[in-house]
Amino acid sequence: MTQGVVVGSGPNGLAAAITLAAAGVSVTVLEAAQTPGGGTRSGQVTVPGLLHDECSGFHPLATDNPFTRRFDLAAHGLRWALPPVQYAHPLDGGRGAAVHRSVTTTAQGLGVDGDRYARVFGPLTDRFDAIATEFLQPMLHLPRHPIALGRFGVLAAPPATWVGRLFSTDEAAALWAGVAAHAFHPLSTPLSSAIGAALGTAAHRFGWPVAVGGSQAIGASMMSLLTSLGGRVETGVTVSSLDDLGDPDIVLLDTAPRAAAAILGARQPPRIARAYRRYRHGPAAFQVAFAVRDGVPWSFAPARQAGTVHAVGDAAAVVTAEREVWHGRMPDEPFLLVGQQYLADRDRSVGDIHPVDVYAHVPAGFRGDARHQIIDQIERFAPGFRERIVATHIRATADITADNANYVAGDIITGANTPTQLIFRPRVAANPYATGVEGVYLCSAATPPGAGAHGMCGWHAARSALRHRGLLDALDRPSEPMAADLKRPR
């Protein structure tokens, strides 16, 4: 039987392991942390019983993609739930903008920019399944849907600041800048619209769902499925060299490229090792988990119903914040993502105390304490917030890296979204998953299609390994229990 080892149990490591196991490979996953799941861990870090997501909270690209269509995670306990409003962007004076599942409802809240918004996002939403098929894989491929992809490219290719000029109101411009800032990259660079275009459209097609029971349910369902296929996970094992692994036929590394180069050592061709060491990481996050009595009292009422709130100010403030952190400076007003997952998953709360998971975009390796800045900034858009805080739990930038080596210097998306790395990651290569060492593949978010707890990097990397060994047919053969899943939140 073919033997496989996966290093790292993030969603990509687990997706890779499941994909190998489904093709008949005997798989062991080795995980450095005591708890498996990588960026899908959750915990009770503030008040007993209150459930916080430690990393990923919202999963617009995880509910319906080739991996989740192939494998029935619902049969292993995974359920998705949507907040009433997908995301919101408050401004001063109780103004703001909000994104709903419906393009029409969203446009109705955008005043004179409503028509423009609907004309941009309506057609993309209608074609999103075809568009997502194209961008959820390595960019170097022959597109099956060139027209839909071309349409998407019109929005995705220009700098986000250019796209922002389509809108004349502060509200619509800020709404766009906020979703574009998920790229964690200056909004004035080419392709800086790509992530915002994808996530903004996905909000209408799928919503921004949370996993019921915390994002940990994603990892748990994947581990359950893996176990049912004969795979196993060992925790508390940090792999530092290929020699630690015995002699498996296939190795998949759910690690950052530099860590992969260290593990592969002299076996990796120097040219590829150099490319891995040059791989660029981006700015960092600073996290505060809050326990908040009665929730955050946002002045802009729709934000009280929104799963995610971008709390920073107008579009210009977003542009400044992202430019500053990219250049290594802490902005006066950092970009804040405020996660209110409990609005979709009420059992995460304890009575009237709710978990609110916030992170700020900060410079790579940030050593300061951003907690007071974060509280002040939320207070600006939600007066009275401070008095409602019952407990806090800080994960400073260094803590994030200590918990997960993939988040180099606090880079929670495992690699900067520079124009080059958006197209070619982790290096320019026909097969981005190949490490140059026979049988060894990179499968982390440093590979296409990039960050997110969607498993697609692991799916493609494992398929690449199976193809090389002539085992892909075994995976693609339809089998009754696995073909059953197609869960789309409506």
Ligand X SMILES: Cc1cc2nc3c(=O)[nH]c(=O)nc-3n(C[C@H](O)[C@H](O)[C@H](O)COP(=O)(O)OP(=O)(O)OC[C@H]3O[C@@H](n4cnc5c(N)ncnc54)[C@H](O)[C@@H]3O)c2cc1C
Site residues, ligand X (CB under 6 A): 7-13, 30-33, 38-39, 55-59, 238-239, 254-255, 259, 285, 287, 359, 400, 404-407, 412-414, 444-445, 451-453, 457
Closest separation between CB of residue 221 and ligand X, Å?
Answer: 15
DSSP β-bridge partners for residue 291: 355, 391
Q: CA 475 → CA 203, 207, 222, 223, 229, distances in Å?
A: 31, 30, 17, 18, 12
Distance of CA 6 to the CA centre of its chain: 20
Q: From CA 115, how far away is CA 109, in angstroms rounded?
A: 11
Tokens of 159: 């700098």
Q: What are phi and psi for residue 263, nearest 5 degrees?
A: -65, -40
Closer residue to ligand X (CB): 414 or 418: 414
Closer residue to ligand X (CB): 407 or 459: 407
Of 431, 456, 414, 442, which Cα lies nearest the Cα of 252? 442
Contacts of 338 (CB under 8 A, 6+ apart): 296, 308, 309, 310, 311, 356, 357, 358, 378
Closest separation between CB of residue 286 and ligand X, Å?
Answer: 9
Closer residue to ligand X (CB): 172 or 446: 446
Closest separation between CB of residue 404 and ligand X, Å?
Answer: 5
Closest separation between CB of residue 455 and ligand X, Å?
Answer: 8
Closer residue to ligand X (CB): 159 or 307: 307
Closest separation between CB of residue 463 and ligand X, Å?
Answer: 16
Closest separation between CB of residue 182 and ligand X, Å?
Answer: 9
Closest separation between CB of residue 223 and ligand X, Å?
Answer: 12
Q: CA 216 → CA 219, 336, 351, 372, 441, distances in Å?
A: 5, 23, 22, 28, 25
Instruction: Please classify residue 142 by burial: count the beta carbons closer than 10 Å to its beta carbon, then call 0-12 exposed, 13-18 middle and 19+ buried.
Output: exposed
Closest separation between CB of residue 20 and ligand X, Å?
Answer: 15
Of 60, 58, 17, 22, which Cα lies nearest the Cα of 39? 58
Closer residue to ligand X (CB): 187 or 284: 284
Tokens of 336: 């804040």
Tokens of 36: 């498996």
Closest separation between CB of residue 317 and ligand X, Å?
Answer: 21
DSSP H helical ranges for 136-256: 146-156, 160-164, 170-180, 194-205, 216-228
Look-up: residue for tokens 């320019």? 428
Using alpha carbons only, give the angle 163, 167, 173 rounded to the nearest 5 degrees. Answer: 80
Closest separation between CB of residue 308 and ligand X, Å?
Answer: 8
Q: From CA 481, how far away is CA 239, in angstroms rounded?
A: 34
Closer residue to ligand X (CB): 89 or 159: 89
Q: From CA 456, how far away is CA 462, in angstroms rounded?
A: 10
Closest separation between CB of residue 477 and ligand X, Å?
Answer: 26
Closer residue to ligand X (CB): 29 or 160: 29
Closer residue to ligand X (CB): 359 or 441: 359
- Exposure b/e, 429-446, CB count within 10 A at least 16 = b: bebbbbbbbebbbbbbbb
Q: From CA 406, how far away is CA 227, in angstroms rounded?
A: 24
Closer residue to ligand X (CB): 34 or 93: 34
Closer residue to ligand X (CB): 173 or 211: 211
Our separate counts of H helices and E strands in the chain read 19, 16
Closer residue to ligand X (CB): 400 or 462: 400
Closest separation between CB of residue 465 and ligand X, Å?
Answer: 16
Closer residue to ligand X (CB): 40 or 299: 40
Q: CA 160 → CA 135, 185, 416, distances in Å?
A: 18, 10, 16
